[in-house]
């Protein structure tokens, strides 16, 4: 048993540093998915978080900026957000962490030298390097059959890189059925715009086919703050009559990511989405009404976090996860993770990266590991003060749970 506080701290930081992370929500892909996988310094600099931050200083028209080649956009962002102003935002700092962890000379501020480094890298070599540097063992992707750029890969080569596991993402089905049903028809599913019995059965067949095709670990959707179930909307009916039964039959969780106000500034594209408070009553209703279903939930609004943690206390079929998007900042990660650990113990998934650029795994996990380790030290120290001593093995167990095993256990699959 560890009875010395310095030894406790050293052990916690070592175990957090060494754990092989399962990153349960990302937007990255294996190397053979071609241009879907973004990587390298120009992709890092043109991350939509940084584009939004760039326009805070720039009077350039949106159209003029987005018409520029990627490298020219990156040059502008580097000049504005790094050279002309100190890069202290989380997304700005993240670029520096990646460059530093790769062993590049950040002090030189030499963007062309960084570009040379990536130019010499092959994608397969770099995927290995990033996973190793980030300490990530497995990532779960965001896989959207409605994306014309992605669907062909699943209809041909599929994915056999076990580091990249699939999540079936169905935003168009749930949020835009009046348009997406035509795609289902094109793919041979006998659906119609009015959600009749035949359409319900065929949507269920579509979901089942794709969960199996992808070996999807869960089914996911991003939802607006107004999302409610039950109501008389098409979305609510598809959730209850299609998604809930299929997820139960296939034993996969339904992951709801709620609170996105899409394109409040549509000129910014991906950077134009914002945040709104979700209605926790919908999560209570679904968890209560469908006790044999499993639900993963992350909410985008900081104001939702306490009630989400309390709701997880009420329903063992609810797994809350991550400090999503606008919450993925050190001060908020610290606040939310302390709230969750004080409310739920270790029975939650503290973080996911949401990486859109492969290299981001390095900074998003480096930054979060540090925060979560500090919180664990505090919590173990508190119980040590009451005479409860933990062993190295118990710390290893708890850290493994937070950084992956809670997820694998919840979905009923073996890690890896």
Q: Which residues bind ligand FIX (CB under 6 A)?
A: 27, 142, 222, 257, 270, 325, 354, 356
Total chain residues near Zn ion (CB under 5 A): 1
97 binds, among ligand FIX, Zn ion, none (CB under 5 to 8 A by kind): none
371 binds, among Zn ion, ligand FIX, none (CB under 5 to 8 A by kind): none
Q: How far is the CB of 149 from Zn ion (least distance, A)?
A: 16
At CB < 8 A and 24+ separation, what contacts does 59-64 make?
62/267, 62/268, 63/267
Q: Please, what is the Cα angle at 42 between 41 and 45, to 5 degrees?
A: 85
Exposure string over 137-175, b if 16+ CB within 10 A, otherwise e: bbbbbbbbbbbeebbebbeeeebeeeebbbbbbbbbbbb
Residue nearest to Zn ion (CB): 354
10 Å CB burial of residue 414 (0-12, 13-18, 19+) is exposed
Radius of gyration for the alpha carbons in the chain, expressed in angstroms and rounded: 22
Look up residue 240 and give its DSSP letter.
Answer: I
270 binds, among Zn ion, ligand FIX, none (CB under 5 to 8 A by kind): ligand FIX
What are 198's two structure tokens? Answer: 């035949």
Q: How far is the CB of 345 from ligand FIX (least distance, A)?
A: 27
Contact region with Zn ion (CB under 5 A), list: 33-41, 166-174, 248-256, 347-355: 347-355
401 binds, among ligand FIX, Zn ion, none (CB under 5 to 8 A by kind): none
Q: How far is the CB of 332 from Zn ion (least distance, A)?
A: 17
Q: How far apart are CA 46 and CA 74, in angstroms?
A: 6
Q: How far apart are CA 216 and CA 169, in angstroms?
A: 9
Name which of residues 77 to 136 contact Zn ion (CB under 5 A): none
Q: Phi then psi for 152, rounded to 5 degrees?
A: -55, -30
Q: 23 or 53, CB closer to Zn ion?
A: 23
Q: 354 or 401, CB closer to Zn ion?
A: 354
Q: 131 or 324, CB closer to Zn ion?
A: 324
257 binds, among Zn ion, ligand FIX, none (CB under 5 to 8 A by kind): ligand FIX
> Coil, strand or helix: which one is 263?
coil
Q: 38 or 377, CB closer to ligand FIX?
A: 38
> Coil, strand or helix: which one is 37?
coil
Q: How far is the CB of 11 from Zn ion (least distance, A)?
A: 33
Contact region with Zn ion (CB under 5 A), list: 47-55, 223-231, 237-245, 350-358: 350-358
Detail the DSSP E strand segments found in 122-281: 136-140, 164-165, 168-169, 219-223, 254-258, 260-261, 274-275
Whether the CB-CB separation of 363 and 36 falls below 8 Å is answered with no
Residue from 354, 359, 398, 401 in contact with Zn ion (CB under 5 A): 354
Q: 13 or 146, CB closer to ligand FIX?
A: 146
325 binds, among ligand FIX, Zn ion, none (CB under 5 to 8 A by kind): ligand FIX
213 binds, among Zn ion, ligand FIX, none (CB under 5 to 8 A by kind): none
Q: 72 or 270, CB closer to ligand FIX?
A: 270
What are 244's two structure tokens? Answer: 């809930």
Whether the CB-CB separation of 111 and 77 falls below 8 Å is answered with no
The angle that helices 330-344 and 305-314 make with each other, rounded to 10 degrees, is 20
Q: 221 or 384, CB closer to ligand FIX?
A: 221
* Residue pointed to by tokens 């979060």: 368
Q: 169 or 235, CB closer to Zn ion?
A: 169
Q: How far apart are CA 259 and CA 276, in angstroms?
A: 5
Q: How far is the CB of 412 from Zn ion (least distance, A)?
A: 23
Strand 164-165 vs strand 168-169: parallel, antiparallel, or unpaired?
unpaired
Q: 248 or 356, CB closer to ligand FIX?
A: 356
Residue 102 CA: distances (Å) to CA of 118, 131, 205? 10, 12, 45
Q: How far is the CB of 222 from ligand FIX (least distance, A)?
A: 4
356 binds, among ligand FIX, Zn ion, none (CB under 5 to 8 A by kind): ligand FIX
163 binds, among Zn ion, ligand FIX, none (CB under 5 to 8 A by kind): none
Q: How far is the CB of 270 from ligand FIX (least distance, A)?
A: 5
Q: 22 or 222, CB closer to ligand FIX?
A: 222
Q: How far is the CB of 242 from ligand FIX (least distance, A)?
A: 20
Which residues would be at the binding site for Zn ion (CB under 5 A)?
A: 354
């Amino acid at each position: 048993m560890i009875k010395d506080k310095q030894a406790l701290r050293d052990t916690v930081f070592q175990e957090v540093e060494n754990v092989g992370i399962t990153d349960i929500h990302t937007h990255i892909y294996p190397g053979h998915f071609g241009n879907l996988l973004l990587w390298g310094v120009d992709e890092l600099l043109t991350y939509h978080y940084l584009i939004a931050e760039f326009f805070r200083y720039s009077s350039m028209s949106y159209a003029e900026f987005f018409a520029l080649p990627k490298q020219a956009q990156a040059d502008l962002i580097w000049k504005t957000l790094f050279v002309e102003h100190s890069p202290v935002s989380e997304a700005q700092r993240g670029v520096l962490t990646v460059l530093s962890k790769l062993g590049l000379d950040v002090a030189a501020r030499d963007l062309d030298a960084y570009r040379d480094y990536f130019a010499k890298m092959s994608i397969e070599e770099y995927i290995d390097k990033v996973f190793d540097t980030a300490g990530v063992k497995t990532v779960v992707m965001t896989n959207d059959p409605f994306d014309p750029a992605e669907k062909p890969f699943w209809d041909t080569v599929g994915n056999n890189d076990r580091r990249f596991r699939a999540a079936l993402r169905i935003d168009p089905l749930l949020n835009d059925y009046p348009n997406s049903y035509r795609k289902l028809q094109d793919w041979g599913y006998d659906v119609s715009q009015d959600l009749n019995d035949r359409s319900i059965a065929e949507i269920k067949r579509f979901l089942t086919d794709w969960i199996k095709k992808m070996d999807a670990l869960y089914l996911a959707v991003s939802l607006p703050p107004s999302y409610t179930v039950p109501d008389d909307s098409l979305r609510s009916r598809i959730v209850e009559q299609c998604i809930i039964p299929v997820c139960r039959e296939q034993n996969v969780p339904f992951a709801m990511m709620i609170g996105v106000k899409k394109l409040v500034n549509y000129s910014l594209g991906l950077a134009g989405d914002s945040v709104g408070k979700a209605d926790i009553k919908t999560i209570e209703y679904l968890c209560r009404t469908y006790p044999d279903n499993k639900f993963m939930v992350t909410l985008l609004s900081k104001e939702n976090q306490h009630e989400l943690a309390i709701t997880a206390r009420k329903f063992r079929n609810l797994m809350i996860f991550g400090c999503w998007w606008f919450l993925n900042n050190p001060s908020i990660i610290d606040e939310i993770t302390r709230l969750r650990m004080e409310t739920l113990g270790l029975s939650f998934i503290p973080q996911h990266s949401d990486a859109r650029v492969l290299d981001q795994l390095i900074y998003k996990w480096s930054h979060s590991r540090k925060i979560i380790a500090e919180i664990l030290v505090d919590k173990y120290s508190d119980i040590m003060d009451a005479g409860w001593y933990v062993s190295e093995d118990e710390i290893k167990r708890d850290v493994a749970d937070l950084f992956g095993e809670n997820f694998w256990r919840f979905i009923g699959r073996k890690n890896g």
